[in-house]
Structure 1
């Protein structure tokens, strides 16, 4: 088992080294990746839409690869791709594409973390970010993944990497991710299907409202849990 994992580590590290080398040595690769990073930096889904649309019949495949790429390169904003997909392919088709490709990205992050270990993952993501997710996992236990997927302000990608660093099995992680990610994907896709370039302020407000709503529910649950614990301790003392 250890030998197999070591072989996997070597293969992955060689592939990562090859990808980095191709960026610096192969001009088309560098140009395309620079364009992708600049595109995400704009924060404008219309720019992402134009990029995906430019690939014509391969647009869906390019969109799926973009979603997986942003998963690996945390914390690029996935919702821009979700909006673009809904605008290009219709809200329900865009939702299926966004959800399935995000699931593929999550699975890949989980597997990479299992293979590479914490030291490498910290360099790919963020040491502070991983530590914050560790605390979150410790607090919410078995429900951590489902809760994290329902919270729009939690980094989807870092959660996937962090889960791979625990003893968590793949299928519980994958199922919880699928269920937890579905509501946000549907909402973003439905809204994204109606968006025009001038609707960014509306979308920003919607996302903030959604995040605050979930936060209020979470805080209420935490408060109730603490009150229940205090009550149980008080009854025990009596």
Structure 2
């Protein structure tokens, strides 16, 4: 029983291990604690100008830190993937924030894809065979559009799609193009709505809903085409 149950929760175990490591570092190293407290305080303050000034003191290391966080976020399933984009926009403005966020996402996607191809057995255990089997149909038949949906929807978008695309041998260029196609409008929308924190939540629902509706329409049209093709062939 344990043999089959453990792999199902490996993603949570891995994520929890990283978080525990950060928590221990927070309490063990005073300088790290002070840095985290100050950074969180500035971000939660919601003052864009103050956030911008705070991150400016780090120079080039500020954007690099955000990009690294986006990459690490692949393994932190408890954190929403769009949060670093909001931070980037608050810290560096609309277009620079989008550029930093997109850079991080594209790098994270490429790394996730590579991990999926090279560490297939390990990733299979982390993600779970059940989830892989469900995704196999969509990646096989609707790979490009499925990746776009997972990227463009803030509620469906999760970095496991990178691992899955690698395991199921989706073409790398096709995967990266689909990731870019989905993440660019999502990043622009998040950047736009994050300028007013009060409207951000409503904006996220609109983005996610629009993505799901567009995907449903695409699947409906495609299924009808397949049926008509089968009927005419017979």
CA contact (8 A) 1:45 1:84 kept: no
| Residue in 2 that maps onto 1:107 | 110
| Residue in 2 that maps onto 1:83 | 86
Distance 1:129 1:234, change over 3 A: closer
Report deviation, 1:82. 0.9
| Residue in 2 that maps onto 1:163 | 165
| Residue in 1 that maps onto 2:228 | 231
How many residue pairs end up in the alignment? 206
Q: Secondary structure at the match of 2:192?
A: helix
Report deviation, 1:161. 0.8
| Residue in 2 that maps onto 1:174 | 176
Distance in 1 separating the partners of 2:172 and 2:28? 34
Distance 1:54 1:230, change over 3 A: closer
Question: Unaligned 5+ residue runs, structure 1?
Answer: 1-15
RMSD: 3.7
Distance 1:90 1:128, change over 3 A: farther
What TM-score, normalized to structure 2? 0.70
Distance in 2 separating the partners of 1:153 and 1:135? 21
What TM-score, normalized to structure 1? 0.69
Correspondence 1:1-238 to 2 at 5 A: 23=21, 27=25, 46=46, 53=54, 56-57=57-58, 58-74=61-77, 76-123=79-126, 125=127, 127-192=129-194, 194-196=195-197, 199=198, 202-237=199-234
Q: Secondary structure at the match of 2:159?
A: helix
Distance 1:234 1:77, change over 3 A: same
Question: Unaligned 5+ residue runs, structure 2?
Answer: 1-13
